[in-house]
Amino acid sequence: MIRHIVAFKLAADDAGTRAAQAAEAGSRLEALVGVVPTLRAMSAGANALDLPGNWDLALVADFDDAAGLDAYQVHPAHEEVAAFIGAIRSDRMAVDLEI
Amino acid sequence: MIRHIVAFKLAADDAGTRAAQAAEAGSRLEALVGVVPTLRAMSAGANALDLPGNWDLALVADFDDAAGLDAYQVHPAHEEVAAFIGAIRSDRMAVDLEI
């Protein structure tokens, strides 16, 4: 199984704006379960603890294999959420674990 | 529940060295389950897919609450792994989700 971990810094100067945008993005990402057939599980949302070095938004998504992740990346419902995040983010990182 | 997501870039120039160090760190992190009482679940390891922008190492750790995360942070077994990672990393980010 592939565990796809992604995190974002958001561009807005105001912390409240970033938190609201991250919560919106998290809700949209979790709504992809049942819509993107290869997506087995998703937890996503705004950073909830005010700790030094924490970024604004993260997702943890599980797929049976790398082909399932590829299918998710190009699914129209995911592309719509990715475009929303792409418009508000200032930085992105990802790690894909084999679990 | 708190889902604690952390990722690292490692400092070594050589990709094979970074992958071996990340695998070692992942094994040490997963071995904390059953040792740190407040740690409910841990998946950790080296990045497994060669995708642009991917970092080297990540962990996803679950706790009942923020107090459980705090207890993990100062547990000697975690501090030992954190010191190992601290000596090989060049960058770190974290996001804590309320799930």
Q: Where are the domains of chain A?
A: 2-98
Supply the pLDDT for residue A10. Answer: 98
Contacts of B48 in chain A (CB under 8 A): 2, 96-98
Written in H, E and C, the secondary structure of chain A is CEEEEEEEEECCCCHHHHHHHHHHHHHHHHCCCCCCCCCCEEEEEECCCCCCCECCEEEEEEECCHHHHHHHHCCHHHHHHHHHHHHHEEEEEEEEEEC
Is residue B53 classed exposed, middle or buried when 0-12, 13-18 and 19+ CB atoms within 10 A define those classes? exposed
For domain A2-98, the CATH architecture is 2-Layer Sandwich (3.30)
ipTM, 2 decimals? 0.97
Residue A30 pLDDT level (bands cut at 50, 70, 90): very high
What pLDDT digit, counting tens, does each position of B62-81 carry?
999 999 999 999 999 999 99
What pLDDT digit, counting tens, does each position of A68-89 carry?
999 999 999 999 999 999 999 9
Residues 45-74 of A with CB under 8 A from B: 45-49, 51, 53-58, 60, 66, 69
